Amino acid sequence: MTVGYGRVNEWKAVVGEKDVTYAQLAGSGFMGHVDYDIEYIKGHSTAHPINIWGAGMTIGVTDKIDVFGDYYKNVGLDKDPVAWTAGIGFGHQDNMHVGSFRIGASYVNAELGAVLGGYTYDVSPLSYLTKDIAGVNKVKYWTVETDVTIAKNVRLHGEYAFNVKLDQDGQNDKNLGAVSLNYVF
């Protein structure tokens, strides 16, 4: 089990927020076939009420197949926006074993205020909810993602989001894809 707590000063992913508390509890159970995490994110300004609780779980159905999901809710806002995912994965990618891979497919359903974003170069449809794009309050889409170890400590990652639906006047977005090369030091 892992327990963590921290305070962040000026988290750029949270617009206008200068002081954020973050706590996490994570672990494994049932002989390594179940992984879980519980997270709490609290903003300390009154301008952007952030009070997000969330949890995620991955259950190993077999040695090669797992199902996973996440659920997050911001109880600091009037409408209590939620974000959830559900998916299935095949394989186990390991940075030390060349040729190991994992491929997964998931459905994502997220509302404005439940997702904060986590990094600068986000090419997923969730970026509609973390940037100032007028009129977009909800995003739903399917995604396929894969990781392959191509050399020791070198991983090729790819993801493709499709069937992207926005709640902005019935508009839908084009499919989005990304490929990255990741090194482990």
For residues 164 and 177, give the distance between their C-alpha atoms in angstroms, rounded to a whole number: 12
Structure tokens at 171: 């508009």
Q: Tell me the pLDDT tens digit for each residue of 145-179.
A: 999 999 999 999 999 999 988 887 666 677 889 99
Beta carbons of 64 and 84 less than 8 angstroms apart: no
Residues 6+ apart with CB under 8 A from 179: 156, 157, 158
**172: number of Cβ within 10 Å:** 12
Q: What is the mean pLDDT of the chain?
A: 83
CA pair distance 91, 146, nearest whole angstrom: 10
Judge whether 149 and 100 are in contact, CB under 8 Å: yes
Can you give the pLDDT at residue 119?
Answer: 47
> Could you tell me what percent of the chain has a pLDDT over 70?
79
Query: Could you tell me the residue range of the domain that residue 65 belongs to?
Result: 2-183
Report the number of distinct structural domains present in the chain. Answer: 1
Q: Which of 12-26, 95-109, 143-157, 166-180 has the lowest mean pLDDT?
A: 12-26
Q: For 122-141, what is each residue's pLDDT tens digit?
A: 567 777 776 656 677 888 99
Which CATH number goes with the domain that contains 141? 2.40.160
